[in-house]
Amino acid sequence: MNRPATTRSLRRRAGRKLVRSPMAMACAGVIALYVAAAVFAAFALTPRWPTSHDYARANQPPSLAAPLGTDAFGRSVLTKTLLGAKVSLTVGLVTNVIAIPLGMVLGAAAGYYGRRLDDVVMWLVATLAAIPGIVRVIALKFAFADTVLLDGTPLRLDLGGMVGVCVALSLTFWIGTCRLVRAEAMKIRQSDYVLAARAAGRSGPGILFAHVLPNVMHIGVVNFSLGFVAAVMAEVVLSYLGIGVAVGAPSWGSMINAARSDLIVGRWWELTAAVGAIFVLVLAMDLLGDRLRNALDPKAGKA
């Protein structure tokens, strides 16, 4: 079917707008580089990491042999940074893959059905939101320290390490998405197309998945980019405090923790590598998220 350009769907127009923006493409390129680095680290660097210490070469400044210098155990800071990218990207991705669908489904259901369900969901949201920001994440991760789910089965989940970080962050991040989606779903509930679907005899869940959820998808997409940045930053703080990924596992937060008094004695490379890696990733994700929000905003689309 040959549709005129003006009726092209919001999603396709947004995609086109993003591809045409050099800034958005540059950011996407940077993120692709990080993903490549993380995949490379996961397969090529992880096996050799635990035995790579060499005390004879501890605390070396950057050189040809170790482009970003070595840490207090003589391990390559470059390798450590790449392994940190693996941790950060995994946490950012897994957290949002759990949190966004959870927030969207609960928010859409609460907004669409209203009444009791809405009361219960909103009570849950208000309760969790009452413990502000970082304290909530810390409290969750603190409680998870010795928790092992499904022990003795192949699906064993040790919440003490990275899985726990993802679960703690997901339990925190679904709230924002849920609130926004609920407000939007309340508006959609009164729209003509939902009324028409109901008159045609469509069931509640059918309407929810066929009409409500597709129309709040843009909120999920935007919150994914926001949540990714927040998850990366939160993982850094948790690992710095020693309640993030398993102790000793390479992560940008534990790198900052290890190097926290290094500047004063003139060792700048480990801190710089970790902070630089965080800065570039967060900046790229933030700018891309901004472009994404603008592209998906129908009001900005007409300009």
Positions that interact with other proteins (CB under 8 A)? 123-124, 126-128, 130-132, 134-136, 138-140, 142-147, 233, 236-237, 240-243, 253, 256, 259-260, 263-264, 271, 275, 278-279, 282-283, 286-287
In whole angstroms, the minimum distance from the beta carbon of 282 to other proteins comes to 4
Residue closer to other proteins, measured from CB, 286 or 297: 286
In whole angstroms, the minimum distance from the beta carbon of 201 to other proteins comes to 34
Residue closer to other proteins, measured from CB, 205 or 242: 242
In whole angstroms, the minimum distance from the beta carbon of 260 to other proteins comes to 6
Residue closer to other proteins, measured from CB, 184 or 270: 270
Alpha carbons 182 and 103: distance in angstroms, whole number: 9
Residue closer to other proteins, measured from CB, 219 or 236: 236
Residue 293 buriedness (CB in 10 A; 0-12 / 13-18 / 19+): middle
Is the CB of residue 83 less than 8 Å from the CB of residue 31? no
Tokens for 67, please give them. Answer: 């482009």
Q: Where are the alpha helices (DSSP H) in the chain?
A: 10-20, 22-40, 77-113, 115-130, 133-144, 162-189, 192-199, 204-207, 213-215, 217-241, 252-258, 269-296, 298-302
Residue closer to other proteins, measured from CB, 172 or 215: 172
Alpha carbons 99 and 113: distance in angstroms, whole number: 21
In whole angstroms, the minimum distance from the beta carbon of 252 to other proteins comes to 9
Alpha carbons 274 and 227: distance in angstroms, whole number: 20
Tokens for 121, please give them. Answer: 């969901």
In whole angstroms, the minimum distance from the beta carbon of 35 to other proteins comes to 19
Residue 239 buriedness (CB in 10 A; 0-12 / 13-18 / 19+): buried
In whole angstroms, the minimum distance from the beta carbon of 143 to other proteins comes to 4
Alpha carbons 57 and 73: distance in angstroms, whole number: 8
In whole angstroms, the minimum distance from the beta carbon of 52 to other proteins comes to 25
Residue closer to other proteins, measured from CB, 14 or 256: 256
Q: Residue 72 carries which side chain, given as an amino acid letter?
A: A
Residue closer to other proteins, measured from CB, 31 or 134: 134
